[in-house]
Structure 1
Amino acid sequence: MYPKLLREIYCSPTVLFYNGNLSLLSHQRAIAIVGARMMTSYGEQAIKCLIPGVVANQLTTVSGLAKGVDALVHEATLANAGSTIAVIGNGLDITYPKQNAQLQNQIQKEGLILSEYPQGARPLRHHFVERNRIIAGLATATCVVEARKNSGSLITASLALTENRNVLAIPGSIFSGNSQGTNQLIAAGTRPLIELDDVLEEVL
């Protein structure tokens, strides 16, 4: 059950390891939502406002199970009885970061955890750069909630654009470091994410 969208990307993973509901890979409508690990209250509010509508329109969320934006995306999706996929940069038998142990266990039961790394593989820095292509590859569109300049979220957005996938970014204050990356994306031509309809028009 190798996902069709992921098969289309450059250097698609040869093998995927999983825990959870594999049928989620057959869902044709998925949206990647990524952002800053050091999330602000603005980012938190944006996610909590966005996710109920995403779930109501039967979109599967995809993120990276990192602290901050990623974790809240998974939590909010599950809290709204939605479907979520977490792509991790280590073996399935390892929890990283440790603070997400309970969340990872919940996703294994109610959603899907994916990794291209075998059991025992440590969370090395380059693994997270590599897993970003999978996050972008599984989704029709990628949304960036908060991001600093040169952040991993911008790498995910760049990979999505390379694969001709839609990218959206939530605009923020010019005085916030966490909005520098998203505002930069918008200045470069990325669609601003102002309301739920922006997402739906790019995905449905």
Structure 2
Amino acid sequence: LADAAYPTLLRQIDLPPVVLFFQGDLTLANTYTIGIVGSRQPSLYGAQILRDWIPGIAQAGLTTVSGLAAGVDGMVHAQTLLHHGKTIAVIGNGLQRIYPSSHQQLQPQVGQHGLILSEYLPMDGPQRWHFPERNRIIAGLSRQVLIIEARERSGSLITGMLALDENREVLAVPGRINDENSAGCNALIVAGAQPVTSVADVLTNYLNSYWLL
């Protein structure tokens, strides 16, 4: 926390990590960042939105931030790299552990071409309480947080609420009121998140927020 290279935005949150371990390009933490999170079991609707929106976000030069979890998070990193964008993964385990095991290839790719951050010792395995702690870092690193899909009481909903608490702008993709995967997004919109229905909405909101900083 006392290091000059510590991420500027993260330094501003209520409980910044005292120590960060990293692999990759640490300068990405001080670029134009947008957190993108969602369900571990995305619907075809959520997956399609990611495939449609990530190219525009990457081409605009924004650095995506997510949690390298199964589902939407992993897709964010994979799609960003596929479209030659910049991405940051905040993980709930040590840098020398790969979780989930399905990311045996993806995690090293993010470390090589982007940035991986962790507040845990290199050999620490994932623990249930690590993930809410990790979510505050995702929110803290991001100028905006975009929620693609989220169930009630989900990690993505927690990330969105943390971002609202930290005065970050929160964007949420609205969904059907009887769809479990959209319940969290709709709740965030009621709580003050900005509904977005296109990548143009995301980029416009980002530019407007940036100039207000």
Q: TM-score, normalised by structure 2?
A: 0.93
AA partner of residue 195 (structure 1): S
- The corresponding residue for 1:18 is 22
- The corresponding residue for 1:171 is 174
Residue deviations 1:111-164 (CA, integer Å, cap 9, x gap): 111000011211001001101010000010001001111111111011101110
Deviation of the 1:201 alpha carbon: 2.7
Deviation of the 1:25 alpha carbon: 1.8
Matched, 1:32 2:35: yes
- The corresponding residue for 1:139 is 142
- The corresponding residue for 1:78 is 81
SS at the partner of 1:125?
coil
CA distance in 1, matches of 2:82, 2:122: 29
Residue deviations 1:38-71 (CA, integer Å, cap 9, x gap): 1111110001111111011100000000000000
- The corresponding residue for 2:12 is 8
Q: TM-score, normalised by structure 1?
A: 0.97
Deviation of the 1:20 alpha carbon: 1.1
CA distance in 2, matches of 1:31, 1:151: 19
User: Any unmatched runs of 5+ in structure 1?
Assistant: none
- The corresponding residue for 1:102 is 105
CA distance in 1, matches of 2:30, 2:144: 16
Deviation of the 1:174 alpha carbon: 2.2
Conserved? CA contact 2:9–2:30, under 8 Å: no
- After TM superposition, which residue ranges in structure 1, 4 or more long, deviate above 3 angstroms? none
CA distance in 1, matches of 2:189, 2:151: 13
- The corresponding residue for 2:118 is 115
- The corresponding residue for 2:205 is 202
